[in-house]
Amino acid sequence: MQFKHSENTETLKAVEKEVVSKKQNSIVIYNDDVNTFDFVINSLIEVCEHNLIQAEQCTFIIHYKGKCEVKKGDFAELRPIRNELTKRGLTAVIE
């Protein structure tokens, strides 16, 4: 079976477009010397809908590693969550 170059190019472009559109972004929270463990845990539960264990684990990772990916999704879905986290005084970015 042989394919014409133009067919391969069109197929490749369609696949690339699908991969790019499905790219997941992440909210990353960085460690600071201001917020308490309890505040970060409660914020993750309230804003990111983590359960207690997940929120505690993320908080310890933030503290010991300096940052933690706390939520994945599409940019449009993550933006209001990141905005709420930053309103609470957390250092959160979408990557």
pLDDT digits (tens, 9 = 90+) for 48-85: 999 999 999 999 999 999 999 999 999 999 999 999 99
Contact, 72 vs 58, CB < 8 A? no
Q: Locate tokens 């209001």: which residue?
A: 80
Mean pLDDT rounded to a whole number for the chain: 88
Phi and psi torsions of 8, nearest 5°: -65, -40
pLDDT of residue 20: 52
pLDDT of residue 23: 75
How sure is the predictor about 8, in pLDDT bands with cuts at 50, 70 and 90? low
CATH number of the 23-94 domain: 3.30.1390.10
Residue with more model confidence, 17 or 90 = 90
Give the residue extent of every domain in the chain. 23-94
Kindly state the average pLDDT of the residues 91-95. 98
